[in-house]
Chains A and B, each alone.
Chain A
Amino acid sequence: MDYAAIVFLEILYMISFLVLSSVGLAIVFGMMRVINLAHGEFVMLGGYTTLACHSAGINIFFAMLVIAPITVGIVGLLVERLVVRWLYGRMIDTMLATWGLSLLFVGLVTLIFGSSAVGIPTPISGYQLGSYQMGGYNLFIIGITIVLITLMWIVLRYTRVGLVARGAMQNPEVASSLGYNPKTIYMLTFTAGAAVSGLAGGVLAPLTGLLPSSGGAFIAKAFITVITGGASIITGVLSSGILFGAINQVVSFAANPVMGEIAMLVLAIVLLRLMPQGITGRFFRNST
């Protein structure tokens, strides 16, 4: 019984992990049809920001929840202004340029922080569940994910900003005819996506540790989750995140973590074969 609860919590944690680490990419992809291959590095930068603040004695929760998103958001804004905006409508070129950026960030962070793995202590201690010991921080990540997704949903659904954003998502001309400059919308979207990635990086860093190259661990999974989810930001990333997280952990417990990951990848192929436009290309068409 205790063991079942553990398995369930681990599944929830894996789903939160996938959703949290993909949602920044999903915002940018859903709104702009831009695939940002520097996404993993945005996550990594969020982690390093948190680390730097923590070493400077700033409260760790403030660092990961406020400073990390703001810093990475600014980086995202710079990237959009300097590189991405010249490449709109050229999907492959954008991917390539952002891939170059990802290498560049890895190099820069190596120069600044060195190449050694560094860690941030988990600020929440473990707890007892029956006869089992569990990571309390996992619960925090699950909570943060739920709050973040709910907030995003409220913003997209019930605010003026969300309305314009959804309009621009469906048809940029509509937004521009309403007096909103699509270029400004794109700029803000990219910044928002980067900020959310930074938040994810800050929150996840205490569990995953940090290396300049650790962005690579996020990008493939995030990419697959987002594309399989389809164009709707929240529904897409939630539906694929839940499916992938569940299958990954169930197989991990039944066999081992490698088989878990392979099962998840096979599921991605099957899903895309059945639904060539992603899950939300088929179901939940009018969702956000």
Chain B
Amino acid sequence: MNEELSAAGRIRWGWFIAWAAVMLLLPMVLEDTHTLTVLTIWSLLALSLGLMWGYAGILSFGHAAYFGLGAYAYAIASINFGESTVALFLAMLVPAMLAAAIGAMMFFGRISDVYLGVITLVVSLILFKFMNATAGDVYRIGDARLGGFNGIPGFPILNVPGFPSMEIWGTPFYYVVAVALLLCYLLSRWILYSTFGRVLLGIRENELRTELLGYNVPLHKTAIFSISAAMAGLAGAFFAMWSEIVTPGLFALGQSAEVIIYVIVGGLGTLVGPMAGAILLGFLKLLLGEQTLIDNSLVMGLILVLAVLLVPSGIAPQLAKFRKRYIDRLFRQRSGSSGRRRRKLGGSGNGKESS
């Protein structure tokens, strides 16, 4: 147990630097940074859910609520302020505050597993329905009209702080998003390394025991829920800048489900897994959109069913197992890190959720 706890917060700096370098060097090889950017944004969204679900055991069926709220907060604020800095900050603050309110309501009310799922789902549905019904002229916040189904187009995109006319787009925008993702990853690792993170792991493993040890369980859960929402909000703001329009579709059920799939296909209980899942499946989704031969939902559905049946623990843990078995063996004597135990986290499908 101890080993696992410390492993959760540990960063292998060598790998991290290599990863960061490749992410930052990719634009030199590829001219299509537009695709790269959106995959990075989806990774950030998946990371936010992966952190909360994989390490604190809180599954949100409506994570799109915070993603969409971030996007809307950004769009509305940037129209009113005419620049992006404050708006970007609000895009994290507003979702975090909503999450804090809902989280407090749920966790102090001792709501858990599937009931928690329904509440998170319902919150995203309410936002979806409401935003869809705001096409009338009366629905405006400051200078921004909410626009209903049409959403809000034409808001300012990211600019250099303090200089509204210096817009950041294209490859520089990719760098901003990539650095944000790397920072959020480091932040997540740091959270898991801290006492706070260890309490979260304790809650996931045994909520009652953690509580009896004197920790305030609802408070911890609410906090990680807010942090995750802020991260999703940031992803939402980036997505708004990337697509240059926000629509109620951001709150849709499908959006929430997609993130869940990224996380579970990538590997629950890891941080890298969700990101990898987002890149892989996100890319597949874009690729399917470029052909008209096969029905897209057919392919996506098939992949999902097969993934659950054949690779139930997700790609990342599966690869890690593979690495352990074959590659680490080669290096074992040199590095001397023999037999580091790594428990499979919720891998075989989370017995803990069943009631």
- Seen from chain A, the residues whose Cβ lies within 8 Å of a Cβ on chain B are 33, 35, 83, 86-87, 89-93, 96-97, 99-108, 110-111, 216, 219-220, 223-224, 227-228, 258, 261-262, 265-266, 268-269, 272-273, 276-278
A227 to B309, CA, bound (A): 26
* B115 lies within 8 A of A103 (CB): no
* A35 lies within 8 A of B122 (CB): no
A276 to B105, CA, bound (A): 11
A89 to B302, CA, bound (A): 22
* A104 lies within 8 A of B302 (CB): yes
Q: Mark B62-77, 1 if CB is under 8 A from A, else 0.
A: 0000000000000000
CB neighbours (8 Å) of B302 from chain A are 100, 104
Partner of A33, one of B118, B129, B354: B354
CB neighbours (8 Å) of B113 from chain A are 91
Cβ of B161 < 8 Å from any Cβ of A?
Answer: no
Q: Mark B293-334, 1 if CB is under 8 A from A, else 0.
A: 001111111111101110010000000000000000000000
A33 to B119, CA, bound (A): 18
Number of A-B contacts (CB under 8 A): 133
* B350 lies within 8 A of A91 (CB): yes
Give A105's nearest chain B residue, CB to CB: B301
* A103 lies within 8 A of B354 (CB): no
CB neighbours (8 Å) of B298 from chain A are 103-104, 106-108, 110-111
Partner of A101, one of B261, B299, B301, B349: B301
Partner of A104, one of B125, B297, B309, B350: B297
* B121 lies within 8 A of A223 (CB): yes
Residues of chain B from 266 to 305 with CB closer than 8 A to chain A in the complex: 295-305
Binding site of B, secondary structure by majority: helix, strand, loop or mixed? helix
* B305 lies within 8 A of A224 (CB): no
* A92 lies within 8 A of B121 (CB): no
Cβ of B206 < 8 Å from any Cβ of A?
Answer: no
Binding site of A, secondary structure by majority: helix, strand, loop or mixed? helix
* B304 lies within 8 A of A276 (CB): no
Given contacts A89-B354, A224-B118, contact A103 B349 (CB under 8 A): no
Cβ of B11 < 8 Å from any Cβ of A?
Answer: no
Given contacts A262-B126, A273-B109, contact A100 B305 (CB under 8 A): yes
Cβ of B130 < 8 Å from any Cβ of A?
Answer: yes
Cβ of B355 < 8 Å from any Cβ of A?
Answer: yes
* B260 lies within 8 A of A96 (CB): yes
A93 to B295, CA, bound (A): 24
Partner of B118, one of A96, A99, A105, A272: A272
CB neighbours (8 Å) of B307 from chain A are 100
CB neighbours (8 Å) of A86 from chain B are 309
A228 to B351, CA, bound (A): 22
Partner of B111, one of A107, A261, A265, A276: A276
Cβ of B182 < 8 Å from any Cβ of A?
Answer: no
Given contacts A261-B129, A265-B129, contact A107 B115 (CB under 8 A): no
* Sample of 13 further A-B pairs with CB below 8 A, known A93-B350, A107-B299: A87-B308, A91-B114, A91-B353, A93-B264, A93-B308, A97-B308, A101-B301, A105-B301, A258-B132, A262-B126, A265-B122, A265-B126, A265-B129
- Seen from chain B, the residues whose Cβ lies within 8 Å of a Cβ on chain A are 59, 105-106, 109-115, 117-119, 121-123, 125-126, 129-130, 132-133, 253, 257, 260-261, 264, 295-305, 307-309, 312, 348-351, 353-355
CB neighbours (8 Å) of B350 from chain A are 90-93
CB neighbours (8 Å) of A92 from chain B are 59, 264, 349-350, 353
* A103 lies within 8 A of B304 (CB): yes
A277 to B115, CA, bound (A): 7
* A223 lies within 8 A of B118 (CB): yes
Given contacts A276-B109, A276-B111, contact A265 B125 (CB under 8 A): yes
A220 to B305, CA, bound (A): 20
A262 to B119, CA, bound (A): 13
Partner of B130, one of A91, A111, A262: A262
* B349 lies within 8 A of A276 (CB): no
* A220 lies within 8 A of B105 (CB): no
Given contacts A97-B304, A102-B301, contact A83 B309 (CB under 8 A): yes
Partner of A100, one of B117, B129, B253, B301: B301
* B308 lies within 8 A of A35 (CB): no
A126 to B223, CA, bound (A): 56
Given contacts A92-B353, A223-B121, contact A107 B348 (CB under 8 A): no
* A106 lies within 8 A of B114 (CB): no
A70 to B58, CA, bound (A): 39
Task: Give the shortest distance, in Å, between A137 (CB) and chain B (any CB).
Answer: 26
* A107 lies within 8 A of B133 (CB): no
Give B114's nearest chain A residue, CB to CB: A227
A108 to B294, CA, bound (A): 11
* A227 lies within 8 A of B115 (CB): yes
A231 to B113, CA, bound (A): 14
CB neighbours (8 Å) of A103 from chain B are 297-298, 300-301, 304
A262 to B129, CA, bound (A): 7
CB neighbours (8 Å) of A89 from chain B are 349, 351, 354
Task: Give the shortest distance, in Å, between A46 (CB) and chain B (any CB).
Answer: 19
* B111 lies within 8 A of A100 (CB): no
CB neighbours (8 Å) of A219 from chain B are 253
CB neighbours (8 Å) of B300 from chain A are 100, 103
